[in-house]
Structure 1
Amino acid sequence: MPAVSVSRRRTDAVLRTDTGRLSLILLFTPFALWILLLIVLPQIGIGYLSLQVKLAPRVYEFGLANYFEFLNEPIYWNTLLRTAWISVLVTVLALLVGFPVAYYIAKIARKRSRAALFLLCLIPLWVSDLVRAFGWILLLRETGVFSSLLQGAGLIGEPVELLYNDVTVVMGLVYTVVLFMIVPLVSTMDGMDNALIEAGYNLGGSRFTVLRRIVIPYAMPGIVAGCIIVFMLCAGSYLTPVLLGGKNSMWFTEQIYQQFITRYNWEAGATFGCVLLAFTSLAVWLGLKLTGQNLASTVAKD
């Protein structure tokens, strides 16, 4: 009987292990298929297409000529660097705007009101990027709300056009991505013990000292995670820069669109897409190195 009991226990343990593995496979399979079919395979196809050099109609050869053409054209490089610079600026502004909001939600607001405050932050995501961009257009155009208010207050004598410049693009992007900065910051700072802050004050630290020596170091994983997400979203944005910036604000994604759709040069468009991916990945890697963080402690943090 003892031998039968041990055998049954082993059988039950094996069944539980097999059931756990099967459940894990069933849960992981949709995610794996999504990554494979919508991210990995399309990116491999884009990379393959970028290495095709067109010699004649329907005549191609493999090579790096598309990349050399990109490097030899200053306007492409200037547009990429300009996109990166504005994306960094938007990331910094989103951090400056989102950090106080996240700190208030995580450490100051009452538990009952945290959900309502977080819901208010989610409201902009209830509408599409297109609707939000046109909302800014209604506010900032020559006959828009702001221009009419300035005229009514007597500050200006005629309608003024506030659209189609870099300032408008930055405002629209910050408004669009600030939530993606707030979420990881709230998640990180919510786990910080309030006793750490109280200890800082009890030891004679000022608000700035407590913020610099306690809060920011603890929130650094959330800061880096939010900056990565916001920077990648800004660099890959299309609608907001095109609608709010117009012809005066060239964005790199617009260059990609023109190559694919306007010029029907899919090889160049694929090359630009690979360059943007490599450039943003390099920027994220440099940011992680400078801050001493890694993906395991930021984006992949439990």
Structure 2
Amino acid sequence: MSRDARRLSLILLFAPFALWILLLIALPHLGILALSMREKVAPRVYEFGFGNYAEFITEPIYWNTLLRTGSMSLLVTFLALIIGFPIAYYIAKIAGKRARGALFLMCLIPLWVSDLIRAFGWILLLRESGVISRSLQWMGLTQSGIEFLYNDAAVIVGLVYTVILFMIVPLVSTLDGMGDDMIEAGYNLGGNSLTVLRRIIVPYAMPGIVAGCIVVFMMTAGSYLTPILLGGKNSSWFTEQIYNQFISRFNWEGGAAFGVLLLLFTSGVVWIGLRLSGQSLANTVARS
């Protein structure tokens, strides 16, 4: 009787999660995949084919935009890691318990508002008549306003600001489990700060590094609002191509194919990263 009750409890516990995976992830992806295989041959006449994928291959602007999105996302991931690792190490190993909560709260502040509000906040700072440009004029460093918007640098800054929390959280979770005696042993054996970082801290934190990089890269590659608003017409982000296929051209089959290609591309990059780092996805998720 108790075994049956325990089994029922486990089923009820995992049922919402299983339904969430099935209804919001598995079925929509299967639907998008099926839609991408519909090739339009006449008005309201479709047949199975790979014409939508062939259109992507034969049009250089599409795969150039995808490659550019991937390279920019890797750069954002690298910058988030470089900036987030010292912050995570300070929170996990140096800050006190009270300070740790306050620092986490400060990291959570950007998530209190939507992506749209955060993007418009950067617009107020970076536009030609914005806070930074007016401050430079007031200090006499420039005679006229400077436009900091509508370029790759503005897009990168906005994306790093948006995703850096998702780099810090897994790093803090991993580094928090590292005992101080490991670091002290490294110094006692004659290692300097760089050696201890390279031989002890980074290898121990590798599951958190990989987990944070995966989340940040996937979020950045799939971002839409920030690249469009901060990059303007100069932005070349693949999600904009997907939007144009769905909304501007009413080509749902082509948009679905582009969505599948973006998923396959980002999944391939993640797989290559796991192979190069020597980590597995299961161990990474378990440790972080």
TM-score tier (shorter): over 0.9
Query: How many Å separate the matches in 2 of 1:300 and 1:44?
Result: 27
Structure 2 residue aligned with 1:63: 49
**Alignment match of 2:211 (pick from 194, 201, 225):** 225
Query: How many Å separate the matches in 2 of 1:166 and 1:92?
Result: 15
1:272 aligns with 2:262: no
Query: How many Å separate the matches in 2 of 1:123 and 1:63?
Result: 47
Provide the alpha-carbon RMSD of the alignment.
0.8
Query: How many Å separate the matches in 2 of 1:31 and 1:37?
Result: 10
Letter in 1 for 2:153: V
Shift of 1:23: 0.9
1:283 aligns with 2:261: no
**Alignment match of 1:216 (pick from 202, 214, 225):** 202
Shift of 1:113: 1.6
Structure 1 residue aligned with 2:184: 198
Q: Specify every segment of 5 or more residues in structure 2 that has no aligned partner in the other structure, as ranges.
A: none
Letter in 1 for 2:92: A
Query: How many Å separate the matches in 2 of 1:82 and 1:210?
Result: 36
Query: How many Å separate the matches in 2 of 1:75 and 1:153?
Result: 43
Structure 2 residue aligned with 1:245: 231
Query: Alignment partner of 2:153: what SS?
Result: helix
Is the 8 Å Cα contact of residues 174 and 287 (structure 2) preserved in structure 1? no
1:154 aligns with 2:166: no
Query: Alignment partner of 1:54: what SS?
Result: strand
1:139 aligns with 2:136: no
Structure 2 residue aligned with 1:298: 284
Shift of 1:112: 2.4
Is the 8 Å Cα contact of residues 208 and 287 (structure 2) preserved in structure 1? no
Query: How many Å separate the matches in 2 of 1:50 and 1:276?
Result: 13
Query: How many Å separate the matches in 2 of 1:126 and 1:202?
Result: 44
**Alignment match of 1:119 (pick from 79, 100, 105):** 105
Once the two structures are superposed, residues 215-244 of structure 1 have per-residue CA deviations (whole angstroms, 9 ceiling, x without a partner) of 000000000000000000000000000000
Is the 8 Å Cα contact of residues 88 and 172 (structure 2) preserved in structure 1? yes
Give the structure-2-normalised TM-score: 0.99
The within-5 A match list for 1:5-84 is: 15-84=1-70
**Alignment match of 1:94 (pick from 80, 97, 101):** 80
Structure 2 residue aligned with 1:179: 165
Is the 8 Å Cα contact of residues 150 and 230 (structure 2) preserved in structure 1? yes
Give the structure-1-normalised TM-score: 0.94
Query: Alignment partner of 2:40: what SS?
Result: strand
Query: Alignment partner of 1:60: what SS?
Result: strand
Query: How many Å separate the matches in 1 of 2:5 and 2:224?
Result: 45
Query: How many Å separate the matches in 1 of 2:141 and 2:243?
Result: 40
Letter in 2 for 1:64: F
Once the two structures are superposed, residues 1-36 of structure 1 have per-residue CA deviations (whole angstroms, 9 ceiling, x without a partner) of xxxxxxxxxxxxxx2211111111111111111111
Letter in 1 for 2:9: S
Query: How many Å separate the matches in 2 of 1:53 and 1:112?
Result: 59
